[in-house]
Amino acid sequence: MAFEEVKAELGILMTRMQNEPQDKHELYLQLMEKLNELRAYGMPLPQDLVALEKALEAEFAAEKTAAEDE
């Protein structure tokens, strides 16, 4: 897959994340999948999306910990 195609898909994904916040987990999985594709092809990773991926991971981990503590 060409870098431009992946960038376009990431742009669409970001738009969906803004318009559909109730689907945050699925969108996170899609973001992770696209970033993994870039990693597999040795392409540069958009640092803002890497930061978003890490922020969502931390948020989900905190939610899991809170749920386990209840």
Mean pLDDT by 10 residues, the chain (70 residues): 78 74 77 90 90 91 86
Query: How many helices (DSSP H) and strands (DSSP E) are in the chain?
Result: 3, 0
Expressed as residue numbers, the domain containing 17 is 3-69
What is the pLDDT, as a whole number, of residue 42? 92
Residues in the chain: 70
Q: How many domains does the chain have?
A: 1
Contact indicator for 8, 1 with CB cutoff of 8 Å: no
What is the pLDDT, as a whole number, of residue 54? 93
What is the pLDDT, as a whole number, of residue 66? 87
- Under DSSP, is residue 59 helix (H, G, I), strand (E, B) or coil? helix
Q: What is the pTM of this model?
A: 0.67
The angle at the Cα of 37, spanning 31 to 40, to the nearest 5 degrees, equals: 140
Rg (CA), the chain: 13
What is the pLDDT, as a whole number, of residue 15? 81
